[in-house]
Amino acid sequence: MGPSALMIQDDEPLFDGIFLGGFECSYHRLEDGRRLDMLASTRHDELASEDYARLRSMGMTACRDGVSWVRVERSACEYDFSSVSRMLRAANEQRVQVIWDLLHFGWPDSVDVFSTSFPARFARYARAFARWYSNETDKTPMITPINEMSFLAWAGGDVRCMNPFEAARGVELKAQLVRGTIEAIEEIRSVLPHARFVQPEPIINIIPAAEHPKTWRRVESDNLLQYQAWDMLTGRVWPSLGGHPRYLDIIGVNFYPDNQFMLDGTTIRRGDERYKPLSRMLLEVSARYGRPMFISETGSECEARAPWLEYVSDQCVEALREGCALHGITLYPIVNHPGWVDDRHCLNGLWDYANERGEREAHQPLADEIARQAPRLMAARAEMLERRRGLSGAF
């Protein structure tokens, strides 16, 4: 199946603004048995209204946020979405469009992700969410069934650094996650036929070592694996999983300063002649799938936050001018959070931990960069969409 078979273009913006905020919402189990609850540890669950108002104050009209499967399904197949109700009401009050992650690294203890029953179990949860959502609002939802299937399969199924802490089972786990996503989309569409779906995956660039030419084919293969989950969803590979182009709606690309590296793990930084421009990576994804896209995660730490956003914005403008159907950039995370393993204070957001009054101090250099980049990005997106309308009107 070639890219032309997937060419179903949107010629209207997915989001009113160009920048989105992303709230950490993982609830996964660590190897020592502890569970993370990033919604609670950042206090976003209790400060959702204030946090959404902060987004609006920065011109951000949309965000990525999460439903915790662990919180919602306390006993098998019995669901309580009260923990999400406050967030949905706050989003509606503050006029913020939310992309709801249903599984962002965390599932109930009773769930076995390798079981043949996993896809159906996940789909029941997804259908329950759709029913609850349809009773709460008539807004068209935007949903991420499973965040970063490729990364989760590698981290949890191959290298034992995330739950379920397995080795040499990454492909098996990825197939399970893809099947779960397909079944979840079908269940959600049976309740909410106009729902939109986001499939976020990391985009990477593995650099071959000139002194090790025998590894070059391995590098080529590993680079292509970044597309495998999307290809499974479309049925391009492993069609027995049930993939079809209708399951790939909106593509989310996650890109951080360490997404380019060598096989030995050495990070390739900007400034290195081997570093691949982000604009090229975006255009490659766009050409491969022909779907609307946005950067679903990006960010850096400490004083590198504003310079990194400047680089990403410059590259996005370039990609937009080359015709990439790019609709937005998600600053992820938008609030600082405790480190997953060591609880360190991660200075990677626009806003810091909340004080006793629920106020969050902003990192002003990043705030200034957002204000500087938003108009040029909005203009570049508008030009891209206008060109696409002209092209579609010619046929």
Can you say whether the dihedral through the CA atoms of 244, 5, 11, 315 is positive or negative?
positive
Q: Which residue has the tokens 């706050």?
A: 90
**Domain architecture of the chain: domains with CATH:** 3-393 (3.20.20.80)
pTM: 0.95
CA distance 354 to 375: 29
Q: Digits of tens for pLDDT over the chain (395 positions)?
A: 333 333 345 789 999 999 999 999 999 999 999 999 999 999 999 999 999 999 999 999 999 999 999 999 988 889 999 999 999 999 999 999 999 999 999 999 999 999 999 999 999 999 999 999 999 999 999 999 999 999 999 999 999 999 999 999 999 999 999 999 999 999 999 999 999 999 999 999 999 999 999 999 999 999 999 999 999 999 999 999 999 999 999 999 999 999 999 999 999 999 999 999 999 999 999 999 999 999 999 999 999 999 999 999 999 999 999 999 999 999 999 999 999 888 999 999 999 999 999 999 999 999 999 999 999 999 999 999 999 988 776 65
Spatial separation of the C-alpha atoms in residues 181 and 144, rounded to whole Å: 9
- Position 9 scores a pLDDT of 52
Q: What is the CA radius of gyration of the chain?
A: 20
Identify the residue whose tokens are 């410059």.
314
Name, in order, each residue with C-beta under 8 angstroms of 301's C-beta and a sequence gap of 6 or more. 346, 347, 348
**Residue 131 to residues 123, 124, 145, 189: CA-CA distances in angstroms?**
12, 11, 15, 11
Query: What pLDDT shows up at residue 3?
Result: 37
